[in-house]
Amino acid sequence: MINRGMFLLRAFMEAKKEHHLMGILRVLWAMVTLLFSSPEMSAGINQSVPLMVVLSLITYLILMEVSLWLLNRFLMRMGCPPIEEIVLKFKDLGEWQQLIFLWACYALVLLAGVVCLAAIL
């Protein structure tokens, strides 16, 4: 049992940083399903409600990780500097340039939300 645990720990440490989140989410899903499968924990509530909350959290985190991975791949393919260097250069911008950039990002997020709402309706 200890050897198996050490093997899993060593495999987790040797995995890429991007894959750590997937391992943590799998363990979280297994723990939550075991926690809510007992009758005393699920008394009075529907058993699927907490699982749906955890599933939505897992989906959100996976989407965030995939979008960050796609952004890094896109920047690498386009020949742009890595995101860490872009953040450092952002700090060198003037205050009004930072403000304009943040307003533009806010406008894009707002536009994406409006488009999502329009797609639903």
Per-residue pLDDT tens digits for 11-69: 666 656 666 777 777 777 777 777 777 766 656 666 677 778 778 888 887 888 888 88
Which pair of structure tokens corresponds to residue 22?
A: 């997937």
- Give Cα 64 to chain centroid, integer Å: 3
Residue 31 is predicted with a pLDDT of 79
Its pTM stands at: 0.55
Domain spans in the chain, listed from the N-terminal domain onward: 1-80, 82-121
Nearest C-alpha neighbor of 36 from the set 55, 59, 21, 20:
55
Cα 31 to Cα 24, 27, 72, 75, 110, distances in angstroms = 11, 6, 32, 37, 36
Cα 117 to Cα 58, 61, 69, 105, 107, distances in angstroms = 23, 22, 26, 18, 15
- pLDDT-derived band at 110, boundaries 50, 70, 90: very high
